[in-house]
Amino acid sequence: MEYVTLNNGVKMPKLGFGVYQVEDQDECEQSVLSALNAGYRLLDTSAAYFNEEAVGNAIKKSNVAREDLFITTKLWIQDASYERAKKAFETSLKKLQLDYLDLYLIHQPFGDYYGAWHAMEELYKEGKIRAIGVSNFGSDRLVDLILNNEVTPAINQIEYHPYFQQKDAIKVMKDENVQPEAWSPLGHGGQILKNPILAEIAEKYHKSIAQVILRWDLQSKVVTIPKSVHQERIESNFDIFDFELTKVEMDIISSLDRNEFIADLHDVDLVKQLNELKVR
């Protein structure tokens, strides 16, 4: 496993396993167990994924020591305030059957996320969370949060894949010492997995296009959390530590950027839709 060191000195695996849209509890539990057996140690969930219990059950059933795991969950918009964030954290901790979290993120830059951040800062200082961060924060909101609070987010989890590279946002994160983390690293709808340029690179290394993309993430110093419920893909996505892309190949993949995104958080209808989603 390869690691990054966050801005507070905590080491985080570069490659993790996500469980977005895996709401079937048995399927989620089995997928997480398969991931842990394959070697993943970073697990990423959220209150809004409705599967924290399944992730917790898988952790409990696994033979992996707690100190070897890096567990992330996220605070939903509904709980974005000081008081509600404190309660939501305890709820997530109970569902995950854990005594502490490795990383707690504000899932969306909506609601009273300033109040939530103050609560998370306190939980961090109390040792209940090893690192705190945000998700889906644009550069303006990220920098504003940094300038007006004591603790700088360790992570900003954003949409990131070869067709949507957010180069300006990544630069801001680098300048502010915030680690970028990629959600949906393989894009959406499978189109990116048919790219002929990526296929040529993959053939050279006897790897899949997905493996090449995930390797590109790691070499770009972006933490990545692919998702799958299929054991073969779970294992394949982890098998990316035995090859390295050349600088030319890295540059070629970087040239594929189309500014083609899955979610536009500036879209009013999407903002309304996200705010309407309730986690309880």
Q: Which residues are catalytic?
A: 49
Contact 219, 240 (CB under 8 A): no
Per residue, what are the HEC states of the chain?
CCEEECCCCCEEECEEEECCCCCCHHHHHHHHHHHHHHCCCEEECCHHHCCHHHHHHHHHHCCCCHHHCEEEEEECHHHCCHHHHHHHHHHHHHHHCCCCECEEEECCCCCCHHHHHHHHHHHHHCCCECCEEEECCCHHHHHHHHHCCCCCCCEEEEECECCECCHHHHHHHHHCCCEEEEECCCCCCCHHHHCHHHHHHHHHHCCCHHHHHHHHHHHCCCEECCCCCCHHHHHHHHCCCCCCCCHHHHHHHHCCCCCCCCCCCCCHHHHHHHHHCCCC
The values of phi and psi at residue 267, to 5°, are -80, 125
Q: Please state, in angstroms and rounded to a whole number, the distance separating the CA atoms of residues 222 and 171.
A: 12
Pairing relationship of beta strands 11-13 and 103-106 according to DSSP bridges? unpaired
